Amino acid sequence: MKIVDLIKRDMVVPALQATDKRAILEELAAYMASRHPRIERTALAKVLVEREQLASTAIGEGVAIPHGKLASVGEIVACLGRATAGVEFDSMDGQPTYLFFVLVAPDSSTGAHLKALARISRVFKDPEFRRRLLAAPDGEAMYTVVAEEDAKY
């Protein structure tokens, strides 16, 4: 499974404005809903917030992978967001989170959803990849960094 199979060029937010966990999730949900006709902003925000209440999706080293399931989507939908100032996200390492990779899967998805989470967490473990994403000047450049990294595997 390739990350570029999950994320479209227009699903990259290079400058998230929110400054706290809940607001980041709501901003990402609003962005995804504005670009995907089958995603309802309020429903997605609720799913993402409820998942965060179970345990933080911040995996450390400045990365979080908020995720959830919605009956309205027919395939996995993804979005990459960047908060240049960093946000307190209850990360495992106690550090701010800068990069947010949101995954929304259909209710019926299990295997593909878990494979996608594993793939994303593996790719985001690479410090050079994270550095390049943080240094990218805009969303198009961020997408290019993802595509280049994806091509290595």
Mean pLDDT over all residues of the chain?
Answer: 95
Give 59-79 pLDDT, tens digit per residue. Answer: 999 999 999 999 999 999 999
Q: What superfamily would CATH give domain 3-151?
A: Mannitol-specific EII; Chain A (3.40.930.10)
Give 100-110 pLDDT, tens digit per residue. Answer: 999 999 998 87
Confidence band, pLDDT 50/70/90 cuts, at residue 111 = confident
Closest CA to 120 of 108, 107, 106, 105: 105
Supply the pLDDT for residue 112. Answer: 87
- Whether 124 and 98 have beta carbons less than 8 Å apart is answered as no
Q: What is the rounded CA–CA span in Å between residue 60 and residue 63?
A: 6
Strand 97-106 and strand 67-70: pairing? parallel
Predicted TM-score (pTM) of the model is 0.96
Give 119-151 pLDDT, tens digit per residue. Answer: 999 999 999 999 999 999 999 999 999 999 988
Closest CA to 81 of 125, 47, 30: 30
Question: Is 67 among the catalytic positions?
Answer: yes
What would the mean pLDDT of 80-97 be, rounded to a whole number? 97
Catalytic pick among 36, 67, 82, 130: 67
Compute CA distances 26 → 14, 46, 123, whole Å: 16, 8, 25
